[in-house]
Chains A and B, each alone.
Chain A
Amino acid sequence: MRLLTGNDLATGDVVWWSGQGWSRHVEDAVDVGASGEAILQAEEGARRVNVPYLIDATPTPDGPRPAHIKDRIRALGPTVRPDLTLKPADPLAGNWVI
């Protein structure tokens, strides 16, 4: 599957295209298929997202899993600061990255 991601213009937060808008949670990301480039152009043009790009991912029961470790770290947060990730209450969340 293909995901569209970028950073929120104002906050810099990592965001994922959810079909209707942008979510901070990769679990909300949808497969953009062949329409990814068109969405990217429209959203960047509308200044709703910063430096958007398309990535490969694998669908899993828990949601999409980005193919590259860099995007998995983007999706969760720094592996060395679990308290600053999107899942601070889950001490094993970092295993998903590796």
Chain B
Amino acid sequence: MYRYDEYDQSIVDARVDEFRDQVERRLSGQLTEDQFKPLRLMNGLYLQLHAYMLRVAVPYGTLDSRQMRMLAHIARTYDRGYGHFTTRQNIQFNWIKLADAPDILAELATVEMHAIQTSGNCIRNISADQYAGASADEVADPRPWAELIRQWSTFHPEFSYLPRKFKIAVIAAEEDRAAMRLHDIGIRLVAQDGGIGAQIYVGGGMGRTPMISHLIRDFVAADDLMSYLEACLRVYNRYGRRDNIYKARIKILLHEIGADEYRRQVEEEFVAVKQLGLDPPRAELERIAAMFAAPAFETGLSAHVERDDPDFAVWIDQNVRPHKAPGYAIVNVSLKPVGGIPGDASADQIDRLADLAQRYSFDELRVTHAQNIVLPHVRQRDLQDLWRALVEAGLAEPNLDLITDIIACPGLDYCSLANARSIPLAQKIATRFADRDRQRELGELKLKISGCINACGHHHAGHIGILGVDRKGTENYQLSLGGSGAEDVSLAKITGPGFDEDGVVDAIERVTDRYLAERKAGERFLDTYRRVGFAPFKEAIYG
């Protein structure tokens, strides 16, 4: 885990003091809302339907138990006893009082947390592979690189007022578990000639104009990365459309000038930037990397797991993944109980997860973009005890990557931008497909719901995607098929006319029935869809 140095702590503490003064001036009437809004947004404080909402950054999705307990404390003390984990690996609290916000930020600062870079037209919180440091398929741990980028981007004076928000993801494996190709900049660490460098993808994103990123450079040496990113941002900052909010993301710039011309300009800028000496000495990356050193894994552990309890065996098969260290496993904790609210966890559950991380996972937790939690380093011999504890806490749903593991944005139940509710639909779909055997028969099937065109629920990347729209004051849902946020990235295609809430659940069932009728052995839903094409599914949906 990264630990703050005196500079990190001092800038976070100073930001709390500054915001406290700004809040006092707003409450006393010295600041208007127009003056105050950009200030509160720079501190992650939104005004949503029912109250202020605070989005707390979880850099690259990594937490320790001390931080997790602080989140539970905030949920319990300042909110209504729960938090909502988001598709950006952050957490949101939905019922915050303005006067409490500075105290909350001050409490977060005591555990090296903040809400900086969770809003506004800046470089947002850096996201990363949730299996970082645990998975055997990575060429390096992406978190030191993500942390370096965090330090470079935090309060970067040139990039604090970009044309639009800017999201960066870092992975280090062929398997893309972070939707890297759907970020403004996606970084894949790769090994070359005995060193580690970065493939740079630019111009991906979801929202109202979804696009898959372009490979701009197939290898940037570690010693050049900050300069190269600086060049990528500079070209965007110079030419990004500030005249039209809907055309202001970097994906639109790349679309308009072309990837080749963007690359040419970046390379030209890179030559100039490189002379400025922005890249930190290699020792700085090594200093950071030392803080992410692998835990002291025991050796000689048995990999045998007693599977006598059938429920435990199902959970093992569905939610547990291989670890790079023999005798260890990666445990995915689903926050998608059937009929529950995707991504929500009570203060008690958050505390319990902190306890379990401390006891079983070297004090580490991860938040995933699929709104689940990962305990990254669990001894296989501890899996059954851990599972029992998760069952007691209501956290043992064995549905990772199945149809009930639904990504859903807060939707119209909470969000001021939403056009339709997402959560009740997720609950209805999960209930319809609640039977575990049926879910497992369907296999990997990623269903994602957004309550508006902004696509926080990643519907463009869903094997099955759902977009909620407002049709003359009534909620309506558009169905789309064939998306993927993984290494086989693709954008989902809209099937046709939308449905009401019950209608879309029925339509999904017709889609899954057609999949079962069409699939060949070993095919996932997405494989079958890609093989047979759109038409059979459209016919199944609309007749």
Contacts and interface: CB of A to CB of B under 8 A. Distances in A.
A9 interface: yes
B423 A51 contact: no
Interface in A34-87: 44, 47, 50-51, 67-70, 73-74, 77-81, 84
A11 to B, nearest CB: 5
Nearest to A70: B412
Interface in B318-332: none
A14 interface: yes
Contacts of B341: 80-81
B413 A13 contact: no
A12 B52 contact: yes
Contacts of B96: 12
Contact of B49 (A47, A74, A80, A81): A74
Contacts of A13: 50-51
A80 B80 CA distance: 14
A67 B473 contact: yes
Contacts of A47: 29
Interface in B10-51: 26-27, 29, 33, 47-51
A50 B33 CA distance: 7
Interface in A1-51: 7, 9-14, 44, 47, 50-51
Interface string B205-224: 00000000000000000000
A92 to B, nearest CB: 15
B436 interface: no
A7 B46 CA distance: 12
B97 A14 contact: no
Closest 7 CB pairs of A and B: A12-B51, A78-B413, A12-B52, A47-B29, A80-B423, A11-B97, A74-B49
Contact of A12 (B47, B427, B475): B47
Contacts of A14: 49-50
B449 to A, nearest CB: 13
B443 interface: no
Contacts of B48: 12
Interface string B40-69: 000000011111100000000000000000
Interface string B389-419: 0000000000000000000000011100010
Contacts of A79: 413, 421, 424
Given A10-B27, A84-B80, A70 B97 contact: no
Contact count band on B:
20 to 34
B119 to A, nearest CB: 16
Contact of A9 (B49, B95, B98): B98
Interface in B90-117: 95-99
A95 to B, nearest CB: 13
Interface of B: 26-27, 29, 33, 47-52, 80, 95-99, 341, 412-414, 418, 421, 423-424, 427, 473-475
Contacts of B418: 70
A12 B427 CA distance: 28
Given A73-B49, A80-B423, A12 B98 contact: yes
A10 B99 CA distance: 6
Given A12-B50, A84-B80, 12 more contacts: A10-B98, A10-B99, A12-B48, A13-B51, A14-B50, A50-B33, A69-B474, A69-B475, A70-B412, A77-B50, A80-B427, A84-B95
B427 to A, nearest CB: 7
Contact count band on A:
20 to 34
B473 A78 contact: no
A16 to B, nearest CB: 13
B423 A50 contact: no
B33 A51 contact: yes
B50 A10 contact: no
B409 to A, nearest CB: 13
A34 B28 CA distance: 30
10 contacts: A7-B47, A9-B26, A10-B98, A12-B47, A74-B49, A77-B50, A78-B50, A80-B341, A80-B423, A80-B427
A7 B51 CA distance: 7
A50 B50 contact: no
A44 B29 CA distance: 10
A9 B37 CA distance: 12
Contact of A51 (B47, B50, B474): B47
Nearest to B52: A12
Contacts of A9: 26-27, 98
A69 B51 CA distance: 17
A11 B98 contact: yes
B413 A80 contact: yes
A13 B99 CA distance: 13
B98 A69 contact: no
B414 A78 contact: yes
Nearest to B473: A68
Nearest to B418: A70
A51 B423 CA distance: 26
A44 B36 CA distance: 14
Nearest to A71: B49
A80 B424 contact: yes
B33 A74 contact: no
A66 to B, nearest CB: 11
Contacts of A74: 49-50
A60 to B, nearest CB: 17
